[in-house]
Amino acid sequence: MAFALKNPYRRRAQRTDREVADQQAAAETTGPPRTRIAAARGAWAVGSAMLALARLVRLVVGIVVAVIVVAIVLRLLSANPANSIVKDIHDVAKALVGPFKNVFSIKNAKASLAVNWGLAAVVYLIVGGLIAGLIARAAPRGVAPSERVA
């Protein structure tokens, strides 16, 4: 028996369930430091703002593409260019697709407008989607105020 007491490599006694429960309760009452909680909540707030910005970029790109497509459809359907709504939509679309003017030279004027402005709409859609995706990926993931910080 004296040998067992002096042996430094002997097994330690198993902890009881009560001791484990007490240790977990002590860990839960102390919790993480306040700075860690604040950092997690701050990251969540910044991430939420960046995701909102990404959604806003997607919304603006969607509106721009919709205006261009509506202008193309109105021109292809020979809408009355003297109408103020048709004129306004066409003027806004013309301002948006300025860099894409005469990229392709097609003899039919309506087809040329549809192809060039359609290219502009596709480019806006791709570039806007990439920018919104980059913003969303850069958003930090924090802990929402309703969740516990571990």
pTM: 0.69
Q: Which long-range CB contacts under 8 A does 44-51 form with residues at least 24 apart?
A: 44/140, 44/141, 44/142, 44/143, 44/144, 44/145, 45/142, 46/139, 46/140, 46/142, 47/139, 47/140, 47/141, 47/142, 48/139, 50/135, 50/136, 50/138, 50/139, 50/140, 51/136, 51/139
Q: From first to last of its 150 residues, what are the pLDDT tens digits of the chain?
A: 455 555 555 555 556 666 666 666 655 555 566 666 666 667 767 778 888 899 999 999 999 999 999 999 999 998 998 999 999 999 999 999 988 888 888 899 899 999 999 999 999 999 999 999 999 888 877 666 666 666
